[in-house]
Amino acid sequence: MSAGDEGIQEMNIVGKFLKLFDKLGGCNENEQKQKIEEMNGLIDEMSKGEFETISKTEMFDKIAEMIEEQKLSLSNALLLLKHMGYFKVLKGSCKCGFDGSSLKKIFEKIILEENNKKGGKNEKLWANICGCYVLLSCKPSPGFFCICKPFLLNAASVKEESEEVLKEVEMALLALSCTGFWQNFEKDLNLNEIKDIIKYHQIHRNLTPLAHQSAWKYMICRLNFENSLEGIMVNELHFAKEAAKELEELSKSVDWKRKDDKKEKETKEVLVIERWFGAIYDYFFSCTLRNEELAKLIASLVQMIRASRDNHKDICNGCLDSLRCAAENRNVEIDDLLKGGAVDAVLEEISQQSLNYWTYCCPEFFLKLSKRLQEEKKDEMEETKRKELKRKIYDKIEEEGFDDYIIGLEHFLFVEHFSLYYPGEKWERDFILL
């Protein structure tokens, strides 16, 4: 080991990364590749804050300069940039200097030049460039995304199951999942491709958990803009059943007893679980069809609340937020919330929490149910069912002795706290009495 390498060993993780980065320009291509593999390993060990320390505009400008001066090959640069983009999205980092850098302009130039070629494109290189561009951008141009999307879809549709291909598929789907609502103002003509990717996975189980979740996220972001999409998700792809199955499988790989409050150090499985909550919340928020599989999904969230309550509060809170959203949506049957155990789980959580933001989710869960159950039904059978559900829920609350406690929480949260934001608004203190 050289004296310089010994010095790197003694530095903190950010220092080690920057030291290796400074050495890239003076290496041949093979040495560069070796150092980049070390740098990618260091990125995997970083917290989100440490990553945001290195992903400054100055670093991307330096990479652009090295590419233009032929001190760093484009293929080696992509090895590093793909990994940085992957980490940025997986960790949910919003602080990345790529958008303001000269490297972004270089990528856009390459994308335009390659797109204008009549033929002879290197599909793998092209998909990597497009993937890097989308993953690293916080605000990518919709025009450039439209160019990139077909190539990312092609890369995501490869059926070969080698480790290298699975990683490329995962990267392409992760990039597609980043697009959020950018293209929702116009009809998405590529939903059939995503649907086929999900259906193929349901038969062959060929995708990684992150790739599978990313495919669903791409689709679910368009739920409010494609009238036929929910029918496909419910009747053909069975979103609720698939999401429940994924949560159960991922939970087997989580050490629920590990006491570690540092979210940045969470395992990949935990990060994928947290990404599922965004898709599940959006589905509960938007769904309009009766879905008999929702009780199973709710039961999976309840199981995860109980597993994560002590040592993984972010997961527990994500589950509670999803259940709160489900309680508000009139198209989610209250009976499914009861069958799935949501009422019991929220009551259990109330008994354990101190007053904080997430305590608000619990009484609001019952507030939403209360408002729905106070609505009289014109149909006599529906009215009978409504009264029966009211009694079941109140009996659970009374049996556990939480009626006065919930009213106290509601008074604190809504009267004392939210009156600051809604002056003059009158809040009902006895909402839980249904």
Per-residue pLDDT of the chain (434 residues; tens, 9 = 90+): 454 554 444 479 999 999 999 999 889 999 999 999 999 999 999 999 999 999 999 999 999 999 999 999 999 999 999 999 999 999 988 889 999 999 999 999 988 888 887 776 677 888 899 999 999 998 777 788 888 888 899 999 998 889 999 999 999 999 999 876 555 445 565 788 999 999 999 999 999 999 999 999 999 888 877 778 899 999 999 999 999 999 999 999 999 987 655 544 678 999 999 999 999 999 999 889 888 899 999 999 999 999 998 889 889 999 999 999 999 998 999 999 999 999 999 888 877 755 455 556 777 888 888 888 877 666 776 778 878 888 888 777 777 666 555 555 555 444 444 444 444 544 444 444 44
Q: Which range marks the domain in which residue 18 is found?
A: 1-103
CA angle 163, 40, 30 (to 5 degrees): 85
pLDDT at 202: 95
pLDDT at 224: 73
Residue 11 lies in a domain: yes
pLDDT at 366: 82
Give this prediction's pTM.
0.86
Residue 54 lies in a domain: yes
pLDDT at 313: 87
Q: Any idea how long the chain is?
A: 434
Residue 401 lies in a domain: no
Question: CB atoms < 10 A from the CB of 125, how many?
Answer: 14
Q: In the block, which residue shows the tokens 């792809």?
A: 237
pLDDT at 432: 40
Determine the Cα–Cα distance for residues 83 and 227; give it in Å rounded to an integer.
Answer: 36
Phi/psi-derived region of residue 238, left when phi > 0, alpha when psi is between -120 and 50, beta in every other case:
left
289-303 per-residue burial string, b: 16 or more CB within 10 A, e: under 16: eebebbbbbbbbbbb
Residue 322 lies in a domain: no
Determine the Cα–Cα distance for residues 283 and 241; give it in Å rounded to an integer.
Answer: 13
Residue 375 lies in a domain: no
Pick from 261, 294, 156: nearest CA to 215:
156
Residue 408 lies in a domain: no
Contact 386, 369 (CB under 8 A): no
Inter-axis angle of helices 142-156 and 102-116, nearest 10 = 70
Contact 106, 67 (CB under 8 A): yes
Task: Report the number of distinct structural domains present in the chain.
Answer: 1
Residue 205 lies in a domain: no
The DSSP-derived string for 94-141 is ---GGGGSHHHHHHHHHHHHHHH-SS---HHHHHHHHHHHHHH-SS--
Residue 40 lies in a domain: yes
